[in-house]
Amino acid sequence: MMRRLRDTLLPPACLGCDRPADDLAISLCGACARNLPPLPLCCPVCGDALPPQVSTCQACANCQKRKPAFARTIAALAYAPPVDDWIGALKYRGQLRHAGPLAGLLARAVASQPKPDLLIPVPLHDSKLRSRGFNQAIELTRPLARELELPWRHDLARRLRPTPPQQGQTATQRRRNLRGAFAAKDEIAGLHVAIVDDVMTTGATADALAQSLKKAGAAEVSAWVVARALRD
């Protein structure tokens, strides 16, 4: 109640232009909201863009050849300006105020989807957590769970070892780097779990985490991300 009163009296600034936000849930003015990068027709499994000649929603060739451990991907937007800068500000510059609006965008994207039993943020290794000071996936999951009225836990999955930076790696190299990188507790047995992250690039991280969740007994795993990086 106090937060709503504060936002009414002192509307937050728009993430894009610093003018007063028109849409308080995502902290954007009308003009910036209209300029968000939309997703094209995408594969329902991995969330990547389908070839332009494909006109119906269907699994892409990669997912038909090698289906990931997660059943579906829901992304709010394409990983492109200005969303990539907002995510970078949260992730690398510690602008935690971006987490709420980004979570609001994701909440709208998943609103029509079947609700999972539990949300789990993608874990960081302890060394990365110490150096960064926070886990951006947790910062996104907290307001997302509150908005959707869903339970969430950050202690049911952990990253067992640090992994090398994924930038510049091929999908095969990323999968190799992440093999056996996660472990999950069997408290998730029988549950539909949605893993939450800021960006999906190749899906290797989500796949490795989903494998550990399925191994621990999860009945189904979905991947929820704010933005999807699309291959050309």
Residues 165 and 180 in one domain: yes
Instruction: Sort strands 157-159 and 118-121 into parallel, antiparallel or unpaired.
Output: unpaired
Res 177 pLDDT > 80: no
Residues 41 and 20 in one domain: no
Residues 5 and 109 in one domain: no
In tens, the pLDDT along 178-232 reads 777 899 999 999 999 999 999 999 999 999 999 999 999 999 999 999 999 997 6
The Cα 225–Cα 231 span in angstroms is: 16
pLDDT for the residue numbered 9: 58
Can you read off the two tokens belonging to residue 219? Answer: 């009945």
CA 63 to mean position of chain CA atoms? 19
Residues 25 and 86 in one domain: no
Picking from 200, 139, 136, 197, the residue whose alpha carbon sits closest to that of residue 166 is 200
Residues 109 and 51 in one domain: yes
Residue 223 bridge partners (DSSP): 73, 195
Residues 220 and 167 in one domain: yes
Measure CA of the first residue to CA of the last residue in the chain; give whole Å. Answer: 45
Mean pLDDT of 56-61: 91
Q: What is the dihedral of CA 143, 149, 150, 152, to 10 degrees?
A: 40
How many domains is the chain built from? 2
Can you read off the two tokens belonging to residue 74? Answer: 């829901």
Residues 44 and 26 in one domain: no
Residues 29 and 103 in one domain: no
Query: Which long-range contacts does 9-16 make (Cβ < 8 Å, 24+ apart)?
Result: 15/82, 15/86, 15/98, 15/101, 16/82
Q: Are 27 and 3 in contact (CB under 8 A)?
A: no
Of all helices (H) and strands (E), which one includes residue 227? strand 220-228
pLDDT for the residue numbered 35: 94
Residues 27 and 49 in one domain: no
- Rounded mean pLDDT of the chain? 91
In tens, the pLDDT along 62-107 reads 999 999 999 999 999 999 999 999 999 999 999 999 999 999 999 9
Of all helices (H) and strands (E), which one includes residue 171? helix 171-178
Residues 200 and 114 in one domain: yes
Burial of 158 (0-12, 13-18, 19+ CB in 10 A): middle
Res 2 pLDDT > 80: no
Q: Which domain holds residue 43?
A: 37-228
Residues 151 and 206 in one domain: yes
In tens, the pLDDT along 136-169 reads 999 999 999 999 999 999 999 999 887 766 666 6
CATH classification at residue 158: 3.40.50
Q: Are 228 and 78 in contact (CB under 8 A)?
A: yes
DSSP labels, 7-35: HHHSPPBPTTTSSBPSBTTTTB-HHHHHT
Residues 101 and 31 in one domain: no
